[in-house]
Amino acid sequence: MANSPTLNVAVAQTESILGAIEPNLRKHLDAIDAARASGVDVLLFPEMSLTGHSAGPETLKLALDRKHPFVTEIARAAGAMCTVFGMIEEGPAAQFYNSAIAVRDGKVVFVHRKINLATYGNLDDGKHFAAGRHVETFDLTAEWRASVLICADTWNPALVHLAALHGTTLLLAPISSAVEAVGAEFDNPQGWDTNVRFYALTYGMPVMLANRVGTEGALTFWGGSRILDPLGRSLATAGNGEELLRAEIDFEIVRRARYLLPTLRDADLPLLRRELDRLMKAQAQPGNAADIP
């Protein structure tokens, strides 16, 4: 992977056993072995892949800190392959987070804590977890810089915009999407297709989307993981079963896409700051609340 303009990437679309970390860990290690044997540089698992989607009520039992032996075992197995997986993280001061952990070369290299805690429809993140506070990036190679946004984070366009402004050239999106998650009238599979295609095309930014499969209670996880190029085109799309989805992404296409559609070049940061300051001042004055759209 060192200083290569191309990356071999993979999504591990898996079914987690709810609350059973050790069997889920073995599944992670098997997928890591298969990905490394295929020459993969970056491997992405779904949201909360070590615990299952609905593990929030068991947070006190299932939470791990980033130095836990299970995390170390995954880091060692990954070797030079950057591997991103999901778990309930116990942070300082007994705070608990829905986190994505990136490991490489035997150590943790990056952590993203979910910011937009989905507490609507059949989703209850906000009942169990503290919210993350930062949108950050980390280097993969000299050209490639990654950012992680977990599931509902990507439904806040401001967070994706921030990731892009920070220099992201590969967006990793671990999700946990069930057909029934939001409501009967909301088409989750189609919604996610529109969502990630929009971001890839708008920012000239490849996207790796990792969803889970299987069922948990009344929730049916539909899979459909995918890898998109920076022109919004699908390079690989999974079905509704467990699968190691692979593709190659080329930085030269990122360069061309961002030249053709210069969204980042034309981002007006002084205007954004001025307008945000204006809105915050208006919100602080109750009499002006009606002026805020």
pLDDT of residue 288: 56
Q: Cα–Cα distances in Å, from 18 out to 167, 279, 292?
A: 36, 43, 43
* DSSP per-residue string spanning 140-169: SSSS-EEEE--GGGGGSHHHHHHHHHTT-S
Q: What residues does each domain of the chain span?
A: 6-261, 263-293
Q: Which residues of the chain have pLDDT under 50?
A: 290, 292
The pLDDT tens digits for 57-83 are 999 999 999 999 999 999 999 999 999
pLDDT of residue 2: 54
pLDDT of residue 18: 97
pLDDT of residue 110: 98
pLDDT of residue 3: 59
10 Å Cβ neighbour count for 44? 31
pLDDT of residue 122: 85
pLDDT of residue 80: 98
**CATH match for 6-261 among 3.40.50.300, 3.30.1490.20, 3.20.20.10, 3.60.110.10:** 3.60.110.10
Alpha carbon distance 171, 200 (integer Å): 9
- Strands (DSSP E) found in the chain: 6-13, 42-44, 82-91, 95-104, 107-113, 138-139, 145-148, 170-174, 207-210, 213-216, 219-222, 226-228, 234-237, 243-250
